[in-house]
A and B are shown apart, each in its own frame.
Chain A
Amino acid sequence: MQPTADRFKENARAALADAELQKSLARMREGFVGRRSAAVERLPEFDTLRDEARAIKDHTLANLDFYLERFEANVAANGGAVHWCRTAEDAREAVLNICRLVGARTVTKGKTMIGEEIAINEYLEANGMTPVETDLGEYIIQLRNEPPSHIIAPAIHVSKSQVEAAFRRHHNNLAEGRDLSEPSALLAEARAVLRESFLAADVGITGANFLVAETGSVVIVTNEGNGDLTQTLPRVHVVLASLEKVVPTLEDASTILRVLARSATGQEMSVYTTFATGARREGDLDGPEQTHIVLIDNGRTRLLGTEFEEVLRCIRCGACLNHCPVYGAIGGHAYGWVYSGPIGKVLTPGLLGQRNARDLPNASTFCGRCEEVCPMRIPLPKLMRAWREREFRQPMGSPRAKWAVRLWAFGARNPVLYHLGARLASRMLRRRGGSLRRTARFPFAEGWTAHRDLPTPEQATFQSQWTGRRRAPGRMKPAAHLMSARS
Chain B
Amino acid sequence: MPKQEQTVGLFVTCLVDLFRPNVGFAVVKLLETTGWTAVVPRGQTCCGQPAYNSGDRRDARRIARRVIRAFADFDYVVVPSGSCAAMIKLHYPELFKGERRWAERAEDLAARTYEYVTFLDEVVGVRQLATRYDGTCAYHDSCSSLRELRIKERPRALLGRMGGVKLKELKEAETCCGFGGAFCVKYPEISNAMVADKVADIAASGADTLISADLGCLLNIAGKLRRNGKATRVFHIAEVLAGMAKGHGIGGDPEPKGAPKEQPRLARIGNVKR
Asked if A and B touch directly (CB within 8 angstroms), the answer is yes
Asked whether B62 lies within 8 Å of A413 as measured between CB atoms, the reply is: yes
Interface string of A346-389 (1 = CB under 8 A from B): 00000000000000001111111101100000000000010111
Across the interface, which residues of A come within 8 angstroms of B273, CB to CB?
Answer: 17
- Name A306-327 residues within 8 Å CB distance of B: 325-326
Given A368-B148, A451-B274, also A483-B131 (CB < 8 A): yes
Contact with A along B244-268 (1 / 0, CB 8 A): 0000001111001011101101100
- Whether A253 is near chain B, meaning CB under 8 Å from some CB there, is no
Report the tally of A-B residue pairs with Cβ distances under 8 A.
Answer: 297
Does any Cβ of B come within 8 Å of A487's Cβ?
yes
Q: Is the CB–CB distance between B189 and A409 below 8 Å? A: no
B30 touches A485 (CB 8 A): yes
- A389, B17: Cβ atoms closer than 8 Å: no
**Nearest neighbor of B8 in chain A, beta-carbon distance:** A473
Chain B neighbourhood of A458, CB < 8 A: 20-22, 252
**A390-B193 CB under 8 A given contacts A479-B32, A483-B243, A487-B125:** no
CA distance in complex: A429, B35 (Å): 35
B98 at the interface (CB under 8 A from A): no
How does the 8 Å CB contact mask read for A327-344 relative to B, with 1 for contact and 0 for none? 001100000000000000
Which stretch from A121-129, A146-154, A200-208, A436-444 is at the chain B interface?
A: A436-444
Is B175 touching A325 in the complex (CB atoms < 8 A)?
yes
Q: Does A168 contact B (CB under 8 A)?
A: no
Among A76-84, A242-250, A459-467, the one that faces the other chain is A459-467
Report whether A487 and B127 are in contact in the complex, using a CB–CB cutoff of 8 Å. Answer: yes
Asked if residues A422 and B17 are in contact (CB atoms below 8 Å), the reply is yes
Most buried by A among B22, B181, B227: B227
Q: Is A175 an interface residue (CB 8 A)?
A: no
Report chain A residues within 8 Å CB of B41: 471-472
A167 to chain B, nearest CB (A): 32
| Of A16, A433, A479, most B-chain CB atoms within 10 Å | A479
Does B88 count as interface, using CB distance less than 8 angstroms?
no
> Looking at the complex, which of A43-51, A110-118, A220-228, A400-408 is the stretch in contact with chain B?
A400-408
Q: Does A454 contact B (CB under 8 A)?
A: yes
The stretch from B47-55, B100-108, B109-117, B205-213 touching chain A is B47-55
Specify which chain B residues have a CB less than 8 angstroms from the CB of A325 in the assembled complex.
Answer: 175-176, 178, 194, 197
B55 touches A388 (CB 8 A): yes
Q: Do B59 and A409 have beta carbons less than 8 Å apart?
A: yes
B33 touches A372 (CB 8 A): no
Cβ-defined contact, A483 with B130, below 8 A: yes
Would A484 and B33 count as touching, CB distance under 8 A?
yes
A367 CB contact (under 8 Å) in B17, B24, B143? B143
| Pair A389/B189 contact, Cβ less than 8 Å | no
CB contacts (< 8 Å) of B260 on chain A: these are 434-435
A288 to B274 alpha-carbon distance, docked (Å): 58
CB <8 Å contact, B51 and A389: no
Q: With an 8 A cutoff between CB atoms, is A431 at the interface?
A: no
A170 at the interface (CB under 8 A from B): no
In this assembly, does A169 line the interface, its C-beta being within 8 Å of a C-beta of chain B? no
Return the chain A residue nearest B251 by Cβ. Answer: A455
Judge whether A365 and B179 touch: CB under 8 Å: yes
Cβ–Cβ contact A451 & B224, under 8 A:
yes
- Provide the residues of chain B in CB contact with A406, threshold 8 Å: 56, 59
Chain B min CB distance to A389 (Å): 4
Let me know if B159 is at the binding interface, CB within 8 A: no
Of residues 160 through 201 on chain A, the ones whose CB sits less than 8 Å from some CB of chain B are none
Contact of A16 among B20, B129, B189 (CB under 8 A): B189
Query: Are B33 and A473 closer than 8 Å at their CB atoms?
Result: no
- Verify if A100 is at the interface (C-beta below 8 Å from B): no
Indicate if the CB atoms of A329 and B256 lie closer than 8 Å.
no
Identify which of B37, B50, B178, B251 contacts A479 (C-beta below 8 A).
B37
Least Cβ distance of B64 to chain A in Å? 10
In the complex, which residues of chain B have a beta carbon less than 8 angstroms from the beta carbon of A393?
Answer: 55
Measured between beta carbons, the chain A residues less than 8 angstroms from B52 are: 385
Could you tell me the distance between the alpha carbons of A79 and B182 in the complex, rounded to whole angstroms? 56
Contacts of B157 in A (CB 8 A): none
Tell me if B155 counts as interface (CB < 8 A to partner A): no
Of A364, A365, A391, A433, which is within 8 A of B252 by CB? Answer: A433
Give Cα A53–Cα B86 distance, bound, in whole angstroms: 27
In the complex, A389 Cα to B18 Cα: how many Å? 28
Is A448 part of the contact surface with B, judged by Cβ < 8 Å?
yes
B29: nearest residue on chain A (CB-CB)? Answer: A482
Q: How far is the CB of B209 from chain A (nearest CB, A)?
A: 16
Q: Would you call A238 an interface residue if the criterion is a C-beta within 8 Å of the partner chain's C-beta atoms?
A: no
The reply on A395 being an interface residue by CB < 8 A is no
Once the chains bind, are A415 and B43 in contact (CB under 8 Å)?
yes
Is the beta-carbon distance between A436 and B263 smaller than 8 angstroms?
Answer: yes
CB of B9 to closest CB in A, whole Å: 7
Beta-carbon contact of A457 and B21 below 8 Å = yes
B224 proximity list for chain A (CB < 8 A)? 451-453
Contacts of B60 in A (CB 8 A): 409
In the bound complex, how far is the Cα of B55 from the Cα of A402, in angstroms? Answer: 9
Contact at B21–A462, with CB atoms within 8 Å? yes
Known interface pairs A470-B39, A486-B127; 9 further A-B residue pairs with C-beta atoms within 8 A, sorted by A's residue number: A9-B187, A16-B190, A410-B59, A415-B45, A440-B266, A450-B270, A451-B188, A458-B22, A462-B25
Instruction: Give 8 closest A-B pairs by Cβ, nearest first.
Output: A365-B180, A437-B252, A388-B55, A447-B185, A452-B223, A409-B59, A392-B55, A367-B176
A-B contact list, 12 entries, CB within 8 Å: A12-B189, A412-B66, A415-B43, A452-B223, A455-B223, A455-B252, A463-B17, A471-B40, A471-B42, A478-B5, A485-B30, A486-B126
A residues within 8 Å of B by Cβ? 9, 12-13, 16-17, 325-326, 329-330, 362-369, 371-372, 385, 387-393, 401-402, 405-406, 408-415, 418-419, 422, 425-426, 429, 433-441, 445-463, 465-466, 469-473, 476, 478-479, 481-487
